[in-house]
Chains A and B, each alone.
Chain A
Amino acid sequence: MAPVLTQTYSTPTRVNRLRAPHAGLERLGWAVASLATLGLLWHVSAELAQSRYFPTPAAVFEVLRHEALNGALFTHVGATLLRVVMAFTIAMFIGGAIGMLLGRFKTADRFFDTWLILVLNLPALVTITLSYVWLGMNGTAAVVAVAINQIPNVAVTMREGARSLSRDLAEMAQVYKFGSWRTFRHVILPQLAPFFAAAARAGLALVWKIVLVVEALGGSGRGVGYQIYIAFGSFDVTTILAYALAFIVIVQIIELTILQPIQAKVNKWRR
């Protein structure tokens, strides 16, 4: 008797379906409601406090509008953004390269691990002051200071990625004669992508915060950090909050328009 041969269509091909359209709308609704509540709370407590050190949202938005109209807002936010982009790019490249080398070569990892821990635990303020002392009070020192703070974090994440490369897939690539370039592009890079994305997001969150401290300490004349430092001199809380707000908005825009779409794209194969 011939055995019954059944076709294996037990699981139908799932189409790469997009999220239901109303899910995004719902999320937006929640965000708006939550923000409105926060704004209201802020407004009420500021009205109750009646202090020049606790301005109302309206006062903050007025300063924001004023700074935007005279162009100062864009000059300073632009200067800070440029520093962030430069420091971030440098840190991703150098940190990524270090991490991948340490992840692949055990001897190097054993030797340099201590160095990495040392740099990882160096307080940001120390790297910043030392950069200014050694490189001078200039823009290069500011960017270097920020990059150095981020490099060890990127290196540690990318080292994890390089360590976890699949041997099974490497053997498959060898048997099917992928060659170096196709192995890198189709086998290694996709395995590293999630680690790279994680390093980028964590790194960016760190860079955003440190760059302001660097600017405040460096007295560079331009940048959101410097503006906040000046405002601090006259206890001008309204200006501090206005710049902080502008900054948060920019960071969110970058997160939503650049980082999240990239993340979604590299993860689209996951079930």
Chain B
Amino acid sequence: MAALMREKGDWRGASVNTAGDDKIRVNVERKIFPALADRDAQLVLSNVSFEVAPREFVVLTGPSGCGKSTLLNIIAGLDKDFEGSIDLGAARDQMTFIFQSPRLLPWRTVYENIALALPEGDPRVARIPDMLERVGLTEAANAYPERISLGMQRRASLARGFIVEPQILLMDEPFVSLDDPTAQSLRQLLLELIGRQPTTVIFVTHDRAEAIQLGTRILRLSPGKASVIDDVPVQLTPEQRRDRTAILAEQMRVFGTG
């Protein structure tokens, strides 16, 4: 049955290094979307190369369609059809992906969805009630995902991501299409969860304020055949990250007024 699910992508030029240290090394020389009946082959990423140190919160940002999500899928190992290499370092087996849509199993309850992220018989199931409380879903534990709001589904998705205690957390615009207060509370929740379980984060967003509020470092991708055009650290204290004016000022510094 695993064959049914396996992707058809090949390993053309891609390799997994095992340098053994904690750094994540991303080096995508070329990523091409193959030609289809109605469009030509398209160069999506070219020479995207960067390193991520442990506990960094790197935000990949750039205009829609610049290849941010494609890059994240490559880093996650979901897309293996590229030229270059990805090295997740020593923690490569403790990587987790929080998707843009919550991707919960609609036929399993919130609790079951979180429990399924853990291997069979893992003692950490005992921590699920605590995790549910932390993300504010205790009462929704036995609800089916389609019966709760999108904001709550995203909380469940966060809980599922954190219950496995990841060393590397990849996030693909996890807070889009939410109203502002809901997105805001989820961002605070994310910072809180990371505060308790420190982890390396690579976070994709096109929202500049969100990038500044969350990230310790911003990587800007150029539009078109994306490559890194800017790499700036964010200089905000945790308190300043709750302050809209400080975020706005830092946003001006990082992105300019344009």
Residues of A in contact with B (beta carbons under 8 Å apart):
1-11, 13-14, 16, 100, 104, 162, 165, 168-184, 186-188, 190, 266, 268-271
Residues of B in contact with A (beta carbons under 8 Å apart):
1-2, 4-5, 76, 78, 95-97, 99, 101, 103, 105-108, 116-117, 119-120, 136, 139-140, 143-144, 146-149, 151-152, 155, 160, 164, 181-182, 184-186, 188, 242-245
Known: A2-B243, A186-B108, A271-B146. A7 touches B136 (CB 8 A): yes
Contact A13 B147 (CB under 8 A): yes
Contact A174 B108 (CB under 8 A): no
Known: A171-B78, A175-B97, A184-B1. A13 touches B116 (CB 8 A): no
Q: Provide the residues of chain B in CB contact with A183, threshold 8 Å.
A: 1-2, 5
Contact A186 B149 (CB under 8 A): no
A-B contact count (CB 8 A): 108
Contact B243 A175 (CB under 8 A): no
Query: How long is the Cα–Cα vector from A4 to B140 in the complex, in angstroms?
Result: 24
Taking a contact as CB atoms closer than 8 A, the residue among A7, A176, A269 that contacts B107 in the complex is: A269
Q: Provide the residues of chain B in CB contact with A182, threshold 8 Å.
A: 116, 120
Contact B143 A13 (CB under 8 A): yes
Query: How long is the Cα–Cα vector from A2 to B244 in the complex, in angstroms?
Result: 7
Contact A271 B160 (CB under 8 A): no
What is the chain B residue whose CB lies nearest that of A267? B107
Contact B149 A8 (CB under 8 A): yes
Contact B116 A176 (CB under 8 A): yes
Contact A8 B182 (CB under 8 A): yes
**Chain A's nearest CB lies how many Å from the CB of B15?**
19
Contact B5 A170 (CB under 8 A): yes
Q: Provide the residues of chain A in CB contact with B97, threshold 8 Å.
A: 171-172, 175
Q: Provide the residues of chain B in CB contact with A2, threshold 8 Å.
A: 242-243
**Chain A's nearest CB lies how many Å from the CB of B17?**
20
